[in-house]
């Protein structure tokens, strides 16, 4: 059983600041470059890492993350390779929490129990599977929890007080609050609405609440971090990768540094939020 997520949030609470949670797509733009970028994230300021599992029908993802998934799949990324990337990351980083995020279909094809066992062996700490509602907890959530993997659930602006207990029932690690309705990266979050929503969720759970979807700048991260236990950034990071590639969609000498530079800037914003607490 892993407790990296719990330990990280405990440390951050003692420091009096929110977490910077970074999302990247496994295998984007290729396996080796992606691994190098992921390895650089903690030193750049990432407190937790979400790693996307590429899927051919990513219904909740915006254009930037969809394109990242297409690049990864075109390059031959598979769930088995993604797990191998996690294992290689763990060789040099035993402490940073790492969460796999994606859709159920690849996991179902892999085999649920085989996947859970392989994820634990590789060093995965938690799962976010966006198309599995609480009514389907028997499919993956409960088998994952039984083995010690956190299962992180999404709450949205449309998750009312009647629905929220069901969403939170088997959630562990943290709650991921989607700050806007729609797809990833489609709009900027409203800080006042986020603050009210986080407060409402915290009335139902002691778990940390992290806020994502639409956060792109250090200023936005700082503002959201005043209310949330963590700020999730994804589309901005995969866009930084995309803009660094050559005409053929391959990595350049700018690709590895582009993400680290942006994460460092975002980390400054998140860390400044401690002053407002």
Catalytic, 50? Answer yes
CA distance 51 to 171: 19
**Segments forming the whole domain that contains residue 126:** 4-276
Provide the pLDDT for residue 276.
59
Catalytic, 61? Answer yes
**Percentage of residues in the chain having pLDDT higher than 70:** 95
CATH number at residue 38: 3.20.20.70
Q: Are 270 and 17 in contact (CB under 8 A)?
A: yes
> Which range, of 13-22, 202-211, 236-245, 265-274, averages the lowest pLDDT?
265-274
Q: Is the pLDDT of residue 184 over 50?
A: no
- Is residue 181 very low, low, confident or very high in pLDDT (cuts 50, 70, 90)? low
Predicted TM-score (pTM) of this structure: 0.94
Catalytic option among 28, 30, 47, 50: 50
Helix 112-122 vs helix 79-92: angle between axes, to the nearest 10 degrees?
20
Q: How many domains does the chain have?
A: 1
Catalytic option among 61, 77, 137, 229: 61
Provide the pLDDT for residue 136.
96
DSSP label of 150: E
Q: pLDDT tens digits for 154-169?
A: 999 999 999 999 999 9
């Amino acid at each position: 059983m892993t407790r990296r997520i719990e330990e990280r949030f405990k440390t951050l609470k003692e420091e009096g600041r929110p977490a910077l949670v970074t999302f990247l797509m496994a295998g984007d733009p290729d396996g080796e470059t992606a691994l190098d970028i992921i390895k650089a994230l903690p030193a750049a300021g990432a407190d937790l890492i979400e790693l996307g599992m590429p899927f051919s029908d990513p219904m909740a993802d915006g254009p930037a993350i969809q394109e990242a998934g297409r690049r990864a799949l075109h390059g031959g990324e598979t769930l088995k390779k993604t797990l191998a990337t996690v294992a290689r990351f763990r060789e040099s980083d035993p402490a940073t929490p790492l969460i796999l995020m994606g859709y159920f279909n690849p996991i179902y094809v892999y085999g649920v129990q085989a996947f859970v066992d392989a994820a634990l062996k590789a060093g995965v700490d938690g799962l976010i599977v966006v198309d599995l509602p609480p009514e389907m907890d028997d499919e993956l959530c409960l088998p994952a929890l039984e083995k010690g993997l956190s299962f992180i659930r999404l709450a949205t602006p449309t998750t009312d007080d009647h629905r929220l207990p069901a969403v939170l029932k088997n959630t562990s690690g943290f709650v991921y609050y989607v700050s806007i309705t729609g797809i990833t990266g489609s709009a900027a979050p409203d800080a006042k609405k986020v603050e009210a929503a986080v407060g409402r969720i915290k009335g139902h759970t002691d778990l940390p609440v992290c806020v994502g979807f639409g956060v792109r700048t250090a200023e936005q991260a700082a503002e959201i971090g005043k209310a949330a236990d963590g700020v999730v950034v994804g589309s901005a990071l995969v866009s930084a990768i995309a803009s660094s590639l050559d005409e053929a969609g391959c990595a350049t000498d700018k690709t590895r540094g582009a993400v680290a530079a942006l994460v460092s800037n975002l980390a400054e914003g998140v860390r400044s939020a401690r002053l407002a607490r």
